[in-house]
A and B are shown apart, each in its own frame.
Chain A
């Protein structure tokens, strides 16, 4: 039982490049979400999903796309990276609405 697995752990992108941050969980959790963490800002919700085929926007969705084709995977796509997207990204999953989210170990992304 690996929990929530995020890859890669570190990534450097050039402005305008695209990439996908991977997130997978093996706990059969229906609820998954993506956050970015910036100094002094806490964590902010980017996108979330309540099950396969269902996604919705969070607080800061611009510049990011998601899809949920399986229960296990919830990738986050950066369409055209910008320096403002330099951040630490966390994926999380939960079994239902009253349980806490389990977080992955994060991806540190730098856009130059």
Chain B
């Protein structure tokens, strides 16, 4: 069975700070990896995804993530966060079975 671990459950940053959210997964085969964002009271929106090729993927709103196969990691980064980035962030993996396996999420608060 596959699993996803997100290291930080709550992160508080000031505007313009750099962001890195950790995500590790466990699955021995080929995976597709995703980061989703959930703004307060809203449904999940896809930030970015990796399925093959360049391990550095760029998504919407200035986010990017790097897939490091040897570390089973897919960390999310943003060079300079904004107040509007306040949200819950979920890492997810799609492995052998269909459907997504999610991490427990990281609640990000950006202070103005």
Are the chains A and B members of one assembly?
A: yes
Q: Mark B16-57, 1 if CB is under 8 A from A, else 0.
A: 000000000000000010101000001111100101100000
Interface segment out of the listed A10-18, A20-28, A37-45, A78-86: A37-45
Interface segment out of the listed B66-74, B76-84, B101-109: B101-109
Tell me if A105 is interfacial: C-beta within 8 Å of chain B. Answer: yes
Distance A8 CA – B81 CA, assembled complex (angstroms): 35
Which residue on chain B has the smallest CB distance to residue A45? B99
Which residue on chain A has the smallest CB distance to residue B32? A98
Size class of A's contact patch?
20 to 34
**B97 near A56 (CB under 8 angstroms)?**
yes
Chain A residues near B90 (CB-CB < 8 A): 42-43
Given contacts A42-B105, A43-B90, A100-B49, contact A90 B43 (CB under 8 A): yes
**B104 near A103 (CB under 8 angstroms)?**
no
Distance A90 CA – B40 CA, assembled complex (angstroms): 15
Given contacts A98-B32, A98-B51, contact A103 B99 (CB under 8 A): no
Given contacts A42-B90, A42-B103, contact A104 B43 (CB under 8 A): yes
Chain A residues near B52 (CB-CB < 8 A): 98
Which residue on chain A has the smallest CB distance to residue B6? A42
A59 contact from B36, B44, B101, Cβ within 8 A: B101
B94 contact from A35, A97, A103, A106, Cβ within 8 A: A97
**A33 near B100 (CB under 8 angstroms)?**
yes
**A42 near B102 (CB under 8 angstroms)?**
yes
Distance A106 CA – B42 CA, assembled complex (angstroms): 8
Q: Mark A89-105, 1 if CB is under 8 A from B, else 0.
A: 01010000111111111
Cβ contacts A to B, 11 pairs, < 8 Å: A35-B102, A48-B97, A58-B97, A90-B43, A100-B36, A101-B46, A101-B100, A103-B36, A103-B43, A104-B43, A105-B42
New A-B contacts (18) at CB < 8 Å, excluding given A58-B99, A92-B100, A98-B32? A31-B98, A40-B104, A41-B104, A42-B103, A43-B44, A43-B100, A50-B98, A56-B97, A56-B98, A90-B43, A97-B98, A98-B49, A100-B34, A100-B36, A101-B34, A101-B46, A103-B43, A105-B43
